[in-house]
Amino acid sequence: MKKIVSVVLSLVLFPVAALASNNISDDFRDHYTAASNLSAYNKDINTLIGLNDFHTGQATSFPGFDIGATFGGVKVGSDNDISSEDYLIAPFITAETMVPVINTTVAIRGSAGNGFESIGVGLKYNYNVLQLFDVTLAGFYDRASTDWYTTDHFSFSAVASASLLIFTPYLGVGYDYGDMSTRDIAPKRSTSDEAARWTAGVRVTPFPFLYVFGAYTQTASNAGFQAGIGFNL
């Protein structure tokens, strides 16, 4: 599965991911020490993954599907003394479809670029109000890694959106929790951290089945952005 993710991301998002001058894995190796604030670093990684929880409050219909490619970045928190870059940047691909029996959307997402790999799965439940407003609740589990650490990430979110012609503005809140453990690097350490996030964005559908979107996310210690493109059938 990770090989498939790697190939797709290389073809679709490599030019954008190249904006990051430092490889995430190499940057961690070069600046990690016993005195490093691993907790602050973990919170930034949690946000980088959690950004991908949603890009609308709308649901995917059965037997349709939603496939997208996103590019996200997190401004490194002031307490993160491991990252030398101003932003942690990683591309993701996402795919989801509705399971009609349980009226629930199953979603998968993954990243394999810039020295960072992640694969995750989640469930989403949608409520439609007056054919105009949508609210979606979601939960995800992700397993992410570089050459020097692994992390188990859990996220929960709620997002509301409104359909206005080709525009779908949305507002969302989320919660990220991650267990990070270093590997093959001394000293070996681990940390568990959590944080809430708030997101505002807009999705635009210029042509049937094709959409683009952009969003801004804020947490107590960092900020993030997202841009993406996808197909919804």
Is residue 83 over pLDDT 80? Answer: yes
Give me the chain's average pLDDT, please.
90
Quote the percentage of the chain above a pLDDT of 70. 91
Residue 84 has pLDDT above 60, yes or no: yes
Res. 210: pLDDT tops 60: yes
Q: What is the CATH number of the domain that holds 109?
A: 2.40.160.20
44-75 pLDDT, tens digit each:
999 999 999 999 999 888 788 999 999 999 99
Question: Which of 74, 26, 85 lies closest to 217, judged by CA?
Answer: 74
pLDDT value for 132: 84
pTM check: above 0.75: yes
208: preceding bond cis by omega (within 30 degrees): no
Does 2 or 175 have the greater pLDDT score? 175
CA distance 32 to 149: 11
Residue carrying structure tokens 């949305």 = 170
What is the predicted pLDDT for the residue at 64? Answer: 85
Burial class of residue 53 in the structure, from the number of CB atoms within 10 Å of its CB (0-12 exposed, 13-18 middle, 19+ buried): buried
Report the pLDDT averaged over residues 196-215.
Answer: 96
Which pLDDT belongs to residue 36? Answer: 97
Q: In this model, does residue 4 exceed pLDDT 80? A: no
Query: Residue 167, Cβ neighbours under 10 Å: how many?
Result: 12
Interacting residues of 217 by C-beta distance below 8 A, sequence separation 6+: 47, 51, 197, 198, 199, 223, 224, 225, 226
- For the chain, the DSSP string reads -HHHHHHHHHHHHHHHHTT--S-HHHHHHHH--TTS-HHHHHHHHHHHHHGGG-S-SPPPPTT-EEEEEEEEEEEPPTT--S--SSEEEEEEEEEEEEETTTTEEEEEEEEEETTEEEEEEEEEEEEEETTTEEEEEEEEEEEEE-SSEEEEEEEEEEEEEE-BTTEEEEEEEEEEEEEEEE-SSSSP-EEEEEEEEEEEEEEEEEETTEEEEEEEEEESS-EEEEEEEEEE-
What pLDDT is attached to residue 10? 46
**Rg (the chain; Cα; Å):** 17
**15 pLDDT higher than 80:** no
The rounded percent of the chain whose pLDDT value lies above 90 is: 81
- Condensed to tens digits (0 to 9), the pLDDT of residues 114-150 reads 899 999 999 999 998 887 899 999 999 999 999 999 9
pLDDT of residue 106: 96
Q: Supply the range of the domain harboring residue 123.
A: 2-232
3-state DSSP of 181-197? EECCCCCCCEEEEEEEE
Length of the chain in residues, anyone?
233
Query: In total, how many domains does the chain have?
Result: 1
Confidence of residue 13 (pLDDT cuts 50, 70, 90): very low
Mean of the pLDDT values across residues 106-120? 94
| Beta-bridge mates of residue 192 | 179
